[in-house]
Amino acid sequence: MEKSIQQEFVQKVVNLMGNLRLGSGIENLDVGPIISEKQLRRIENYMQVAAEEGCTILIGGSRSKELKNGYFFEPTVIDSLPPNSRLAQEEIFGPVLVVLPFETIEEALRLANNTAYGLVTGIWTTNIHKAHWLTNRVRSGQVFVNNYGAGGGVEMTFGGYGKSGFGREKGLEALKFYTQVKNVAIKIGN
């Protein structure tokens, strides 16, 4: 998050997160349940890490107190993490947003690439030159500019860099996994 707009933007995100409705997928609400009790505990463990690291949880940070049946976790925003925080370095896989402030585009790139993971990146900017500069340098399997939709359609190749994912799914790139390339060279005559 660019420091010059951090406070204003983070407050808007906190307000939006506070208005999200949790519930089952059948009800088509904003945030559904976590996939399993094991994953819910994993997210709760990350909140313990946040407390140990002295992170500021602006909203959420715990299992839903209202929805007792199911694995519901409150949408969570954690502000101004140090770049080496486990919450900034690992994939949480829950409704948790961590905010890492930066001042320059180069610093934003260092933050984005300073992890062993690289599944999806979202970039919001009004400057198309900055967007191109970042998209060409960020180590991520998918990059969305001024929109976000992890996975995309079937035509959009999906897969990460580093420890995120294995290979590629969907799109023409995925079809390569179903082919075997062979080169045959035959000399005829002397």
pLDDT digits (tens, 9 = 90+) for 86-139: 999 998 999 999 999 999 999 999 999 999 988 888 899 999 999 999 999 999
Count of alpha carbons within 13 angstroms of residue 28, beta-carbon side = 0
Amino acid at 88: A
Q: Is residue 189 part of a domain?
A: no
Q: Is residue 91 part of a domain?
A: yes
Q: Which one, of 140, 58, 46, 49, lies nearest residue 93 by Cα?
A: 46
CATH of the domain at 146: 3.40.309.10
Amino acid at 151: G
Local confidence band at 142 (pLDDT 50, 70, 90 cut-offs)? confident
| Confidence check: pLDDT of 175 > 90 | no
Q: Is residue 55 part of a domain?
A: yes
What ranges make up the beta strands (E) of 64-157? 76-79, 96-98, 117-118, 120-123, 142-145
Q: Is the pTM of this model over 0.75?
A: yes
Q: For residue 117, which phi and psi values (nearest 5 degrees)?
A: -110, 160
Mean pLDDT of 23-46: 93
Q: Is residue 142 part of a domain?
A: yes
Cβ-based neighbours of 189, under 8 Å, separated by 6 or more: none
The total of other beta-carbon atoms located within 10 Å of residue 140's CB is 23
Select the more confidently predicted residue: 51 or 169: 51
Q: Is residue 58 part of a domain?
A: yes
Q: Is residue 81 part of a domain?
A: yes
Residues facing 96 on adjacent strands: 76
Q: How many domains does the chain have?
A: 1
Q: Is residue 185 part of a domain?
A: no
Size of the chain, expressed as the number of residues it contains: 190
CB 168 within 8 A of CB 177: yes
Domain of residue 51 covers 3-178
| Confidence check: pLDDT of 154 > 80 | no
Q: For residue 98, which phi and psi values (nearest 5 degrees)?
A: -110, 140
Residues facing 120 on adjacent strands: 142
Q: Is residue 184 part of a domain?
A: no
Q: Rounded CA gap, 152 and 158, in Å?
A: 8
